[in-house]
Amino acid sequence: MPVSLILSWAEMLLRWAHVISGIAWIGSSFYFIALDAGLAPAPHLEAGVKGESWQVHGGGFYRMQKYLVAPSFMPAELTWFKWEAYTTWIFGFSLLVLVYFFHPTLYLIDPSVAPLSPAAAVAIAALSLAAGWIVYDLLCRSVIGRDRRLLAAAGFLLLVAAAWGYTHLFSGRGAYIEIGALVGSIMVGNVFFVIIPNQKIVVADLLAGRTPADHLGDQAKQRSLHNNYLTLPVVFVMLSNHYAFTYGSRYNWIILAAVFVASFFIRHYFNTMHAGLQPDWRLWPAAAVPLLGAFALTLATQAPAPAVGAAPVPFARVAQILHQRCGVCHAARPTYPGIAAAPLGVMFDTRAEILANASRVEAMAVATHTMPLGNVTHITPAERATLGAWIAAGAKP
């Protein structure tokens, strides 16, 4: 049995598990932030209860209450929400290792960005995740962490700095995946190192008859809220590897920063709505502005049109370039190590396949230079220009 086929199956199953776990984690995060925001005080509530919320779902009614710190007793059964976060990160990191760390030349390294060795690229990619969490955690525990707005600004600058650094070290696709892995690691770090430990201390205090400290719940709430606002950027990064015009742009880190800003505004709109407040409609145009800016930057990345009157490009020359530079992966029988089948089913073996995938060639090899991955086949600027001229002239057979 081919090893490449086994690895492809492992990648698919890990990706599937990662998405399923992520859905569960995102769902619980969104639900509990909305629940917390929608709690209403009532005169009949016992002392120490922040508020309650009545909900209906699946044909039944639910009465939810939240204690400011903890109840005066320990319930017989307590449901913990942690494995959604842990499994999402475990499957995601395993996928990062299997795809990006095992094939750094393809997915992490771009010699035109930085001449990294495979070992150096993997080391930087792995260690930066831990470093990012440490810096973020220190920010939260510092004087800056006492001011919610100042901490939000500092956290945003940290993410933008990370995005800038990654895009100046790795390929565009690798950089985007790394920033996603960094944000995901910060989020699961919040759960593993702060939220769950604080809750365990509260439980231990209750069992021992002690009154839990107020700051434990405040810390956990702060990190939980951060996770809520960071969710949309992570989802964007997960989807972005299907759209090379984002990570393949020379302005890729600015595009990512714009998406961060837009997603924060969108999330804030819904959080205020769940809190029963009048949502500020201005948040939508505020979110549209950075997204329009990102769109403009992708337009600025497009390759220039060929000169008027340029000689037509023979199809035979186009086929030769694609067979030589792209055919090692995009063929019925790929020859590149670790590639079991043509990615996305795109092949350049025949005239019909080349013509059918001309738009993909334009997007990936001409406009953004994201293919070949890591330029492992050493396609030249002149060859990219030849492909662009052929496409601009109508991609004729």
DSSP letter string over 12-39?
HHHHHHHHHHHHHHHHHHHHHHHHHHT-
The percent of the chain in helix, strand and coil, each rounded to the nearest 5, is 65, 5, 30
214, 69 Cβ separation under 8 angstroms: yes
Position 303 scores a pLDDT of: 60
Tell me the mean pLDDT in the region 83-99. 96
The whole-angstrom distance between residue 308's C-alpha and the CA centroid of its chain comes to: 41
Q: What number of helices (H) and strands (E) belong to the chain? A: 15, 2
**More confident site: 179 or 221:** 179
pLDDT at 375: 87
For residues 369-394, give the mean pLDDT.
88
Q: Which residue has the tokens 């809220």?
A: 225
pLDDT recorded at residue 309: 58
pLDDT, tens only, 19-76: 999 999 999 989 988 888 888 888 888 888 989 999 999 889 999 999 877 887 878 8
Which burial class, exposed, middle or buried, applies to 239 when counting CB atoms under 10 A from its CB (0-12, 13-18, 19+)?
exposed
Mean per-residue pLDDT for 120-130?
Answer: 97
Q: For the residues of 139-166, what is the DSSP string, one character each?
A: HHHSGGGGSHHHHHHHHHHHHHHHHHHH
Q: Which amino acid is at 151?
A: L
Q: Tell me, what amino acid is at 114? A: A
- pLDDT of 304 reads 61
